[in-house]
Amino acid sequence: MKRSIALLVVCAAVSVRPASTQTPADDVLGTVNALFQAMKTADSAAVRTLLHPEARLVAISEQGGEVRARTTAADAFVRAIGAATEELNERIWDAEVRIDAALAMVWAPYDFHRGAAFSHCGVDAFHLAHTREGWKIVEVAYTVRTQPCDRPAGRPEG
């Protein structure tokens, strides 16, 4: 009898547990935000776990009216994060997330600071793949400019 009551209590507790409100888009953004946190703390080991082994970064900038695309391999990016001597603070807002099967994309304006100093801004375009270990960043393409850097209302520059 005591066993039956205990089993009934456990079943009741499990049945009233609230459903998770975490969505696939939340998971994708969680991976991107984890990257920013790892960058901020210069945690190269954490950065490596968030990147697909074949990941790359592509910086798109304009100099003298000419568009440049600079590509960085995952290993070089991981080393740069680990060697950072200042806090690297990247912030995004108004992120748009799209998912189809094991492919996800995040498009968001950003600003970037080294320590307390503003460095640049632009738009981040992340591509992620869903693996057995979760979402992994396959590519980050981003624009680099110093102006115009529109920030949402109420968001401070620093």
Q: What is the reported pLDDT for 43?
A: 97
pLDDT of residue 21: 76
Instruction: Return d(Cα 37, Cα 35) in angstroms, integer.
Output: 5
What pLDDT score was predicted for residue 18?
A: 45
Q: Which CATH architecture describes the domain 22-143?
A: Roll (3.10)
> Sorting pLDDT into bands at 50, 70 and 90, what band is 133?
very high
- What pLDDT, on the 0 to 100 scale, is given for residue 146? 86
The one-letter code for the residue type at 40 is K
Strand pairing category for 51-63 and 134-143: parallel
Share of the chain above pLDDT 70, in %: 83
What pLDDT is stored for residue 155 in this prediction? 55
Neighbours of 32 (CB within 10 A): 23
Residue 65 class from Cβ within 10 Å (0-12 exposed, 13-18 middle, 19+ buried)? exposed
Among 145, 89, 152, residue whose Cα is nearest residue 121 = 145
| Phi, psi (degrees; rounded to nearest 5) at 90 | -110, 135
User: 30-61, pLDDT tens digit by residue?
Assistant: 999 999 999 999 999 999 999 999 999 999 99
Question: Cβ–Cβ contacts within 10 Å for residue 41, how many?
Answer: 14
Task: State the pTM of this model.
Answer: 0.82
Which pLDDT band holds residue 11 (cuts at 50, 70, 90)?
very low
Mean pLDDT score of the chain, rounded to an integer?
87
> Which region among 16-25, 64-73, 93-102 has the lowest average model confidence (pLDDT)?
16-25
